[in-house]
Amino acid sequence: MNRDDRRGQLMIVMSLVLAVMLVAMALYLNTAIFTENLATRKGDIAGAGGAASYKFAVVDGASSAMTYANYNNNSSSYQDLEDRFEADVANWSDATRRLESARARSANVSVSEIHEGVRINQSENRSFTNESDVEDWTLADGVDGVRNFRMNVTADELGDSWPGNAPHDDPRFSVTFDDGSTVRELQVYGNHSTDNVHVTVLDGAGNKLGTSCTVTNREYATVNVTGATLAGQDCEAMEFFDDLSRPYDVYYRNGSYNVGTYELVVNQSYGTFGANVGHHYAVGDSPYYTRALYSADLEVTYRTARIDYVTVVQIAPGEQE
């Protein structure tokens, strides 16, 4: 890819992120009008609805800014990422502050703390083995959180292991979370005769937790681990992160029985991650890891003639709530 192509792609991405932030601002204004009218009809404190709307818009706008900083990261330092994120939040705050001042109100958001992370990415369509083609391996060791964990899987490359398929049961690919006492094993497997994709969650003793999830007739499917969805459909069995203590390990098993791409962000610094796990390439090959912002604390201020609202919110886009 030549320099002009890269520049063109960067401009497209920047335009998309700007559009998302503008939409968030528009939604904020529309929601503010609605909620404040509702609050007035109910005799609520004037401005309370606007404060809530502003806080929600801050979360949306700042989350978009963090995603942009992480996915357009050609820097070798966290400082560059933090500077970019803080500048985008400041620009967004300035724009909304001008809008609110026209309504005789004061609004502001500032970054109070940023938490470093690592983004792990497999952008090449390949098996879920490590760089040495080992299929049982540690993806992340001793992390304090995982967010935005998505796996794009290929149905006919999964282990053909649906119930009733014996004696031709293939091993099932799994991603396991282990905090030393609690284990949650998420299995992904298929039915090659119908291109179904199945997800089942087990505990450390091999007991099934909740109801298995299935999508049918899919060539590909996205398993949103932290979003608890399979191909966009809710999968309650994956809502298990509250069961885990931190830190915990994340590892793959039977990685050769899954082909596709994946990405996740972990709550651990780049240096610690590199020292703990040596199963990734540097940027350029798959799988690789790079610096990222995991989360941020934002101070939100919203003032009117009758309300003085100050709070701190944390953003961690894609983290299971």
Taking only the tens place, the pLDDT of each residue in 171-209 is 999 999 999 999 999 999 998 888 899 999 999 999 999
Q: Where are the domains of the chain?
A: 3-114+297-315, 117-294
Cβ neighbours of residue 321 under 8 Å, at least 6 residues apart? none
Q: How far apart are CA 26 and CA 56, in angstroms?
A: 12
Q: How far apart are CA 242 and CA 148, in angstroms?
A: 16
pLDDT tens digit at each of 321 positions of the chain: 544 444 444 444 445 455 555 545 444 444 343 334 323 333 333 456 788 889 999 999 999 999 999 988 767 799 999 999 999 999 999 988 888 888 888 999 999 999 999 999 999 999 999 888 899 999 999 999 999 999 999 999 999 876 655 545 789 999 999 999 999 999 999 988 888 999 999 999 999 999 999 999 899 999 999 999 999 999 999 999 999 999 999 999 999 999 999 999 999 999 898 776 655 665 567 788 899 999 999 999 999 988 899 999 999 999 997
The single-letter code of the amino acid at 12 is I
Q: How far apart are CA 88 and CA 143, in angstroms?
A: 28
Q: What is the DSSP string of 179-247?
A: -SS-EEEEEEEEETTTTEEEEEEE-TTS-EEEEEEEE-S-SEEEEETTTTEETTEE-GGG--GGG--SS
- Number of neighbouring beta carbons within 10 Å of residue 189: 27
User: What are the backbone dihedrals phi and psi of residue 227, each rounded to the nearest 5 degrees, phi first?
Assistant: -85, -10
pTM for this model (two decimals): 0.82
Residue recorded with tokens 């608890």: 228
Q: How far apart are CA 145 and CA 180, in angstroms?
A: 15
Helix (H, G, I), strand (E, B) or coil at 17: helix
Per cent of the chain over pLDDT 90 is: 63
Q: How far apart are CA 108 and CA 99, in angstroms?
A: 11
User: What are the backbone dihedrals phi and psi of residue 170, each rounded to the nearest 5 degrees, phi first?
Assistant: -80, 160
